[in-house]
Amino acid sequence: GGMIHAHILKSGYAFKHTVTDLTNMYMKLGLIRNAAELFDEIPEPNLSILNVVVSGFLQNRVVDEGFEVFKFFCMPGLKLDPFTVASVASSCRIVTSGGQVHCLAVKIDLEMDQYVATSLLTMYLNCAELKSAATLFSAIQDKKMVCYAAYLSGLVQNGVVKLVLQIFNEMRGLLRENPIPVIVVAVLSAIGSGKLLNLGMQLHGLILKLELESDTIVGTSLVDMYSKCGSWRYSYDAFTEMGSSRNLITWNSMIVGSMQNDRVEDAVNLFVELESLQGLKADGTIWNSMISGFSSLGRADEAFLFLRKMMSSGLQPNEQCLTSLLSSCSSHCLERYGKEVHAYATRMEIVDDFLATGIIDMYMKCGAPSSAHKVFDDFRKRSSDPVLWNAMISGYARNGRSEDAFVVFEEMIEHRIKPNVTTLNCLLSVCSHTGELEKGFEFFRLLTVVHGLEPTPKHMNVLIDLLSRAGRLDEAYELLEAVNRNETRAAAAALLGASKIHSEFGLGEEMARRVVELEPENPIPFVILSNIYAGQDKWKDVVETRKALDQKGLKKQPGLSSIVV
């Protein structure tokens, strides 16, 4: 590229005729600085060169500079075209910038251009501005298939499952065209998320009718949908029917689906089958899926066996895989395996805040707070993430070291680490377990008044639990009444237990009825209510309560012990 540029300059070929092509060449080669220098030499850029520069910046993910050049289009005498407006709109990741582009599109009467409207729609959905996206979508009069594709894909991305199905049905009624693969994939994803097996089977029928089953992306989505709906057999049938159109993503989807449906042996057999194929070999993604699958099912021995096999094949686990391994170690107190993950991550220099938090949590749950503190000491000076500190506070609390938890919080404030709502929840939980009522309210005031945190119903529930444990039932009840009724299950249960302990039968009866209302399938409040009535010699009420328990088919589970006698 540089030789061509030099030759043009040397030959004296007219610069104004070649500058656009040269700039475009540099942009496509990723030589952004060369393109920018060339652009700066143009005294009066025309529409053609501006289009090249803006689209070049955006394609090279240099969005801010692209947006700045885009402002040149506002100069008198230059007319914006739909391509440029759409390119800039779809590249905006901040809704304020996207909104400016939208206003400009309205001003120059390009808002309803199909290409521009679709790009604006994509921008709003990428920014999770669902209301703005819905308003724009409704305003588009002559919706094309590509517009529906953008909207449906964006809704799936934002987890709005029901609306996806509604819009898809609307599209089927309005357009005579058959849905394109990207739309089918979006709807399959929505069906899988909602576990709507019957709808999935209906859509499968449409896929067969449209002869889309051989499309690799559609087929893979079908496999994934059936797995998420809990129908492993249908998933495997769809996988088998794909035949030669299967790729590594398809195999990975089938393996992950097998693990999710607790079909471990099938997942292993699929992996072995894949390894024996000509032309396809398990990549890092599939190895990571196998390891994560074993970890999520609590089969740590097999997870670490696959980890070692993976590494001996020259592949390395990703962060998600290591996190799932740590989670498995935490759940089953497997400190030895957890140390392996820690050592590997340290050796490979991939320990970031997220992974460090997982390592701290693992050591704390394995009863090794001193090891957790060593990891914490390595990271706290270079991290401003409160998650790291929260892991230490909750970890010390779990190990019965409340004073150490409070010291960590004091250091957190000294280091000017901004606490979050999880910090408050951790501290209140510590105080609840140790019965330190005044300290709990002191933390609550400090974090809500001084640090400006907005208390959540979960925080209020812990405060109610604190008051209940301290026997201050009137205050607990008063606070309970101030919280949204649907958010008070845990608090009402705490107050119910305290009412029984302190023989406050009237309050206990009210709380039992409230817990029954909020958790009708929970037998515990029925049992406690029965005991409350028995304590007051209200035998008729005892019989009625037991009768209600039997009618609902509920039974209190007997206590279990894992101690071998």
Domain containing residue 209: 158-246
Neighbours of 388 (CB within 10 A): 20
Spatial distance between the Cα atoms of 416 and 409, rounded to a whole number of angstroms: 11
Instruction: Give, in order, the Cα–Cα distances in Å from 13 to each of 8, 18, 34, 36.
Output: 6, 8, 19, 20
Per the structure, how many domains does the chain have?
Answer: 1
For 312, phi then psi, to 5°, come to -70, -20
Gap between the terminal Cα atoms of the chain: 81
CB < 8 Å & 24+ apart, contacts of 196-203: 196/165, 196/229, 197/226, 197/229, 197/230, 197/231, 199/165, 200/225, 200/226, 200/229, 201/234
| Domain contains 412 | no
Task: Identify the band that residue 2 occupies on the pLDDT scale cut at 50, 70 and 90.
Answer: low
Q: What is the mean pLDDT of the chain?
A: 86
User: What amino acid occupies position 498?
Assistant: A
Q: Do 133 and 121 contact (CB within 8 A), yes or no?
A: yes
pLDDT given at position 252: 96
Q: Do 383 and 353 contact (CB within 8 A), yes or no?
A: yes
| Domain contains 523 | no
Q: In the predicted model, what is the mean pLDDT of residues 83-101?
A: 82
| Domain contains 206 | yes
Q: In the predicted model, what is the mean pLDDT of residues 492-496?
A: 80
Asked whether the predicted pLDDT for residue 552 surpasses 80, the reply is no
| Domain contains 551 | no
Asked whether the predicted pLDDT for residue 559 surpasses 50, the reply is no
Q: In the predicted model, what is the mean pLDDT of residues 245-260?
A: 96
pLDDT tens digits, one per residue of 37-80: 777 777 777 777 777 777 777 777 776 777 777 766 666 556 77
Q: Which of 55, 63, 58, 18 is nearest to 38 (CA)?
A: 18
Spatial distance between the Cα atoms of 318 and 297, rounded to a whole number of angstroms: 19
The secondary element (H helix, E strand) that includes residue 312 is: helix 300-312
Q: Which DSSP string do the residues of 511-565 spell out, in sequence order?
A: HHHHHHHH-TT-SHHHHHHHHHHHHTT-HHHHHHHHHHHHHTT--PPPP------
Higher per-residue pLDDT: 481 or 417: 417
| Domain contains 73 | no
Task: Identify the band that residue 1 occupies on the pLDDT scale cut at 50, 70 and 90.
Answer: very low
pLDDT tens digits, one per residue of 183-221: 999 999 999 999 999 999 999 999 999 999 889 999 999
Task: Identify the band that residue 496 occupies on the pLDDT scale cut at 50, 70 and 90.
Answer: confident
Asked whether the predicted pLDDT for residue 554 surpasses 60, the reply is no
pLDDT given at position 14: 41
pLDDT given at position 344: 93
User: What amino acid occupies position 562?
Assistant: S
pLDDT given at position 8: 43
| Domain contains 146 | no
| Domain contains 371 | no
pLDDT given at position 11: 46
Q: Do 295 and 324 contact (CB within 8 A), yes or no?
A: yes
pLDDT given at position 481: 82
Which range has the worst mean pLDDT, 3-17, 174-188, 430-444, 538-552?
3-17
The set of residues, in sequence order, having a beta carbon less than 8 Å from that of 182 and lying 6+ positions away, is 149, 153
Asked whether the predicted pLDDT for residue 506 surpasses 90, the reply is no
pLDDT given at position 75: 60
Task: Identify the band that residue 5 occupies on the pLDDT scale cut at 50, 70 and 90.
Answer: very low
Asked whether the predicted pLDDT for residue 292 surpasses 80, the reply is yes
Spatial distance between the Cα atoms of 509 and 530, rounded to a whole number of angstroms: 9
Spatial distance between the Cα atoms of 340 and 291, rounded to a whole number of angstroms: 14
In 161-205 the beta strands, taken as DSSP E runs, fall at none
Q: In the predicted model, what is the mean pLDDT of residues 271-292?
A: 91
| Domain contains 468 | no
Task: Identify the band that residue 135 occupies on the pLDDT scale cut at 50, 70 and 90.
Answer: very high
pLDDT tens digits, one per residue of 471-488: 888 888 888 887 766 666
Neighbours of 354 (CB within 10 A): 14
Q: Do 216 and 247 contact (CB within 8 A), yes or no?
A: yes
Asked whether the predicted pLDDT for residue 433 surpasses 60, the reply is yes
Which range has the worst mean pLDDT, 22-31, 125-134, 218-227?
22-31
Which range has the worst mean pLDDT, 5-14, 360-369, 505-514?
5-14
Q: Which of 34, 113, 97, 22 is nearest to 63 (CA)?
A: 97
Higher per-residue pLDDT: 391 or 555: 391
Q: Do 246 and 216 contact (CB within 8 A), yes or no?
A: yes
Instruction: Give, in order, the Cα–Cα distances in Å from 530 to each of 505, 521, 523, 540, 541.
Output: 11, 16, 11, 10, 7
Residue 62 has which token pair? Answer: 């240099």
The set of residues, in sequence order, having a beta carbon less than 8 Å from that of 478 and lying 6+ positions away, is none
What is the value of pTM for the model shown? Answer: 0.74
Residue 220 has which token pair? Answer: 């893979």
Which range has the worst mean pLDDT, 48-57, 214-223, 313-322, 376-385?
48-57
